[in-house]
Chains A and B, each alone.
Chain A
Amino acid sequence: MEKLINDFSFGLFFWQTLIFVGLIFLLKKFAWKPILDAVNEREEGIRNALLSAENAKKEMQNLQADNQRILQEARLERDSLLKDAREIKDKMIADAKNEAQAQGLKMIEQAKASIESEKNAAMAELKLQVSSLSLAIAEKVLKEELSNKEAQTKLVEKMLGDAKLN
């Protein structure tokens, strides 16, 4: 112990403490603080990068699930659209058919009506002509009758023959 105390050099102690404490403060300012800050920043960066990668992965998965879902929905929609379209087509065809039928019937009806009216008109005209022709024949026959018996007969026959041609 005596040797220990004797070996103790105050000057060395003084310089050592002075230099050491000075070194702590110098290194704190110029080395440890920048080093630890940079390392912390880097670690923070790595942590953030890992986190965002994880997030991106999750987002990707979400997106994929979304895509799947959307695809599924689209498929369903397509199916339903196709079904609808088919139904509409069928309906349209049926409608068209009905319409056409109705239209046809109506046209046939109209045609029938117009044929009827034409026929009636024709009949009326025929009647008119027949009556006027009959009158003309009757007039001529009467005239011939009045002049020549034989000639009258001939004339009637001739008239009749004409009428046949008509």
Chain B
Amino acid sequence: MVFSNKATKFILLLTLVFAPIFGFANESDDLPVKSEIQVDAHSTQANHEEHAEPTDIKSKIDAFKQHHVLDAHEFSLFEDEATGAHYGFPLPIILWDNGVQIFSSSKFEHGHEVAESNGNYYKLGHDEKIYKTDASGTLTGDEHHPTNIKPLDFSITKSVLTIMIVAFLMFFVFSSLAKTYAKNGGISSGVGRFFEPIVLYVRDEIAIPNIGEKHYKKYMSFLLTVFFFIWFLNIFGLTPLGINVTGNIAVTAGLAIVTFLITNLTANKNYWGHIFWMPGVPTPMKVILAPIELLGVFIKPFALMIRLYANMFAGHIVLMSLIGLIFIFKNWVGGSLSFMLSFAISVIEILVALLQAYIFTMLAALYFGSAVEEHHHDEAHH
């Protein structure tokens, strides 16, 4: 092993890449030793650790999964539990609590310490939320759901940082693509050239068929941005950096709300007419249909939000469970089987990453299309 026999646990997603090399080595020699060390380490650490860490490997993997799918206030690459060393870098914490409180997440000491800023004390909960507390760090309520006050948290978390990186990457890739046209006489060149057919695909196969030749242009910016944004973030989520951005409900909610606003702010008379006074049906039916249709207005973007969140979240959980199985089996047969399975699932996840971006964009285009559609009621509803 490249990591010493004392190195016990590094990020599980990293093993996805190195699984064929390290996975088997773990099974045969290292893991039993590792477990003993962990237990030992834990008995010594137990005193100053306020919360009881899970000790057996199953609950450890479970806790790791639970932790991974959440956002994080530091960028942790891997950690050494025996020595308590974390490898990664801290991120800035920005809180709104009687004024702006800015400090580095290193003050939390990975959730073990109470951070102090301008006389206020904060503690990082297990659910990656920041709670306001006193100097000794007491949390009221049960350990996993403290009832302490939660100040508004505008921290640049791991997810926010990833979103920023993706935003810069997208800006760099697509603005450089845009520049090559002028230089090269209307023909793209360079890296951006790979993305040009995809841009055209979004225009020709998603926007124009769903929105129509007449109105599609004003939605192109959103559709292209959302497509590449989701796709890039999904792909980032598959890297061993252990990022789960699109599998976070807050992110998908943001995307869905923007879609909702664009749909309803650009909708024409026809669209609202269909919602409140469905043409072509008897009057009593119109009354019944109106609330249903109105509900549909909110359900559509809600479905967008849940679909993307659930798909990416589930993908990460499944993948991590399968990788976790390698550590549970600790033998050649089960380990290699788990590896094969997790490999197959990651290949599928690469497809899902693109597919979910496509579906989100496609459905958004469909909703935009319905918002600007021009019907001939009399023929259309019989």
Does A28 count as interface, using CB distance less than 8 angstroms? yes
Q: What is the chain B residue whose CB lies nearest that of A13? A: B250
- Chain A nearest Cβ from B74, distance in angstroms: 15
Contacts A8-B250, A38-B186, A42-B186: A17 and B160 contacting too (C-beta < 8 A)?
Answer: no
- Is B258 a contact of A20 with CB atoms below 8 Å? yes
A6: chain B residues at CB < 8 Å are 127, 145
List A residues at the B interface (Cβ < 8 Å): 4, 6-17, 19-28, 30-36, 38-39, 41-42, 45
- Cα(A21)–Cα(B163), bound, Å: 12
- Cα(A27)–Cα(B128), bound, Å: 32
- Chain A nearest Cβ from B234, distance in angstroms: 14
Does B248 count as interface, using CB distance less than 8 angstroms? yes
- Cα(A16)–Cα(B155), bound, Å: 12
- Is A27 a contact of B170 with CB atoms below 8 Å? yes
- Is A11 a contact of B177 with CB atoms below 8 Å? no
Instruction: Say which residue of A14, A16, A31, A42 sits within 8 Å of B174 (CB atoms).
Output: A31
- Which of the candidate stretches B100-108, B195-203, B317-325 sits at the interface with the other chain? B195-203
- Is A35 a contact of B251 with CB atoms below 8 Å? no
- Cα(A20)–Cα(B233), bound, Å: 12
Considering the complex of A and B, which 8 residue pairs feature the smallest CB-CB distances, nearest first? A31-B174, A38-B181, A34-B178, A28-B221, A13-B250, A17-B254, A16-B254, A11-B153
- Chain A nearest Cβ from B366, distance in angstroms: 19
Report the number of A-B residue pairs with Cβ-Cβ less than 8 Å: 134
Other A-B pairs, 9, CB within 8 Å; known A13-B251, A16-B255, A36-B203: A6-B127, A11-B153, A13-B250, A13-B254, A20-B229, A23-B170, A27-B170, A31-B178, A38-B182
- Chain A nearest Cβ from B73, distance in angstroms: 10
B349: chain A residues at CB < 8 Å are none
B342: chain A residues at CB < 8 Å are none
Q: Using a CB-CB cutoff of 8 Å, which residues 177-233 of chain B contact chain A?
A: 177-179, 181-182, 186-188, 196, 199-200, 203, 217, 220-222, 224-226, 229
B interface size (C-beta, 8 A): 51
Contacts A32-B174, A38-B178, A39-B196: A12 and B222 contacting too (C-beta < 8 A)?
Answer: no
12 of the cross-chain contacts (CB-CB < 8 Å) are A9-B250, A15-B163, A16-B160, A16-B254, A20-B229, A21-B258, A23-B225, A27-B224, A30-B174, A36-B220, A38-B178, A39-B203
- Cα(A27)–Cα(B202), bound, Å: 15
Does B175 count as interface, using CB distance less than 8 angstroms? yes
- Is A31 a contact of B250 with CB atoms below 8 Å? no
- Chain A nearest Cβ from B116, distance in angstroms: 20
- Cα(A21)–Cα(B167), bound, Å: 11
- Chain B nearest Cβ from A91, distance in angstroms: 71
Does B156 count as interface, using CB distance less than 8 angstroms? yes
- Chain B nearest Cβ from A13, distance in angstroms: 4
- Cα(A33)–Cα(B226), bound, Å: 15
- Is B200 a contact of A11 with CB atoms below 8 Å? no
- Cα(A27)–Cα(B195), bound, Å: 14
A26: chain B residues at CB < 8 Å are 171
- Is A30 a contact of B71 with CB atoms below 8 Å? no
- Chain A nearest Cβ from B313, distance in angstroms: 10
A35: chain B residues at CB < 8 Å are 174, 177-178, 181, 188, 196, 199
Instruction: Say which residue of B175, B186, B221 sits within 8 Å of A24 (CB atoms).
Output: B221
- Cα(A108)–Cα(B277), bound, Å: 123
- Cα(A12)–Cα(B157), bound, Å: 8
Does B164 count as interface, using CB distance less than 8 angstroms? yes
Contact with A along B141-179 (1 / 0, CB 8 A): 000010000001111110110011001001100110111
- Is B222 a contact of A16 with CB atoms below 8 Å? no
Instruction: Say which residue of B163, B174, B248 sits within 8 Å of A7 (CB atoms).
Output: B248
- Chain B nearest Cβ from A62, distance in angstroms: 32
A39: chain B residues at CB < 8 Å are 196, 199-200, 203
- Chain A nearest Cβ from B262, distance in angstroms: 10
- Chain A nearest Cβ from B132, distance in angstroms: 15
Does B70 count as interface, using CB distance less than 8 angstroms? yes
- Is A19 a contact of B152 with CB atoms below 8 Å? no
Q: What is the chain A residue whose CB lies nearest that of B217? A: A36
A17: chain B residues at CB < 8 Å are 254, 257-258
Does B267 count as interface, using CB distance less than 8 angstroms? no
B203: chain A residues at CB < 8 Å are 36, 39
- Cα(A12)–Cα(B250), bound, Å: 6
- Chain A nearest Cβ from B181, distance in angstroms: 4
- Chain B nearest Cβ from A14, distance in angstroms: 6
- Chain B nearest Cβ from A32, distance in angstroms: 5
B175: chain A residues at CB < 8 Å are 27, 30-31
B225: chain A residues at CB < 8 Å are 20, 23-24, 27-28, 32
- Is A11 a contact of B186 with CB atoms below 8 Å? no
- Cα(A25)–Cα(B255), bound, Å: 15
Q: What is the chain B residue whose CB lies nearest that of A28? A: B221
A42: chain B residues at CB < 8 Å are 186-187
